[in-house]
């Protein structure tokens, strides 16, 4: 039977990697993008894309046509999952999708209040075959949301205190996603995806210092100072609240859980923080540092 896969969030951290890996394997993949004309990200050549917007239900039917497997990413800005995500799932099922691989959140099974838990419950209630990828905190948050602080001020500016986090590289999440979507045996399972160790931000700053060759400080700001800086930088209140929730969780020592799921599924060690910083080194170099 054919396995036609639709990847949502295809221009984002995880979805882009999933599309790239599937296209390398020559799997049948379609990338769901909000708009062909305004998409800032270039998809790998030869990958077919289709317009899809959770806030535009008229885009659903065409996007799901001929699809069996859905890789579902909840866009961080969508918190009203009942209004925007449930209808997409219902339409997907009616169009013939019988399998959903959902990018969820580490610990979602214990946090009924988070949108990810509600989406998991809805997928189950539809009777679709599912695989939940409950991921820990992405290493790539340091090369995207927090990049500027490291690049311009040599600091990691997050209010996480001395708490440890079991950071994961999104490339490992994508590799797991591709594996579970392309081989049998992962139906109706949930995996908790973490790196192989939990680090505090002092340890992360030391890794950055050693690899970038300049001193990077962890300045552990107060929550208020962090929120103010993020607000002035243009992040919206909802996103800042989510970040505060995440860093409070870390500060309280609740983000340190390490599992073997990535190692067991990929038969190799998860990507380490040092490997991540080496691979993304250019992100934290200013123009002048690039010229040296």
Ligand X SMILES: NC(=O)c1ccc[n+]([C@@H]2O[C@H](COP(=O)([O-])OP(=O)(O)OC[C@H]3O[C@@H](n4cnc5c(N)ncnc54)[C@H](OP(=O)(O)O)[C@@H]3O)[C@@H](O)[C@H]2O)c1
Interface residues with ligand X (CB under 6 A) are 9-15, 34, 52-55, 73-77, 103, 105, 135, 137-138, 141
Using the minimum distance from each CB to ligand X, give the nearer residue, 51 or 279.
51
Which residue's C-beta sits nearest to ligand X? 12
Question: Are 76 and 84 contacting, i.e. CB atoms less than 8 angstroms apart?
Answer: no
What's the distance, Cα to Cα, between the start and end of the chain in Å?
Answer: 54
- In the numeric block, the tokens 């800086």 are attached to 229
CB of 136 to ligand X, least distance (A): 7
CB of 291 to ligand X, least distance (A): 29
Using the minimum distance from each CB to ligand X, give the nearer residue, 66 or 87.
87
Using the minimum distance from each CB to ligand X, give the nearer residue, 14 or 216.
14
CB of 213 to ligand X, least distance (A): 27
CB of 115 to ligand X, least distance (A): 7
CB of 118 to ligand X, least distance (A): 12
Using the minimum distance from each CB to ligand X, give the nearer residue, 42 or 290.
42
The rounded distance, in Å, linking the Cα atoms of 222 and 229 is 11
Using the minimum distance from each CB to ligand X, give the nearer residue, 34 or 251.
34
């Amino acid at each position: 039977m054919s396995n036609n896969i639709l990847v949502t969030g295809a221009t984002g951290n995880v979805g882009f990697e999933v599309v790239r890996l599937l296209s390398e394997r020559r799997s049948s993949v379609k990338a769901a993008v909000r708009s062909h004309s305004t998409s800032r990200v270039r998809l790998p050549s030869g990958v077919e894309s289709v317009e899809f917007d959770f806030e535009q239900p008229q885009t659903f039917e065409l996007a799901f046509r001929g699809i069996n497997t859905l890789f579902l990413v909840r866009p961080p800005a969508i918190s009203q999952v009942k209004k925007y995500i449930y209808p997409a799932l219902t339409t997907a099922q009616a169009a013939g999708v019988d399998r959903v691989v959902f990018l969820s959140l580490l610990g979602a099974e214990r946090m009924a209040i988070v949108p990810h838990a509600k989406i998991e419950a809805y997928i189950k209630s539809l009777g679709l075959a599912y695989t939940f990828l409950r991921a820990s905190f992405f290493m790539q948050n340091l090369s995207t949301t927090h990049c500027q602080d490291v690049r311009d001020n040599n600091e990691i500016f997050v209010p996480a205190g001395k708490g440890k986090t079991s950071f994961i590289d999104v490339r490992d999440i994508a590799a797991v996603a591709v594996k579970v979507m392309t081989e049998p045996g992962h139906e109706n399972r949930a995996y908790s995806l973490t790196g192989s160790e939990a680090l505090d931000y002092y340890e992360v700053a030391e890794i950055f210092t050693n690899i970038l060759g300049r001193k990077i400080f962890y300045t552990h700001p107060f929550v208020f100072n962090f929120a103010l800086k993020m607000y002035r930088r243009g992040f919206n209140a909802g996103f800042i609240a989510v970040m505060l929730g995440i860093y409070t969780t870390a500060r309280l020592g609740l983000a340190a859980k390490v599992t073997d799921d990535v190692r067991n599924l990929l038969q190799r060690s998860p990507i380490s923080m040092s490997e991540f910083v080496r691979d993304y080194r250019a992100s934290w170099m200013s123009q002048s540092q690039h010229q040296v």
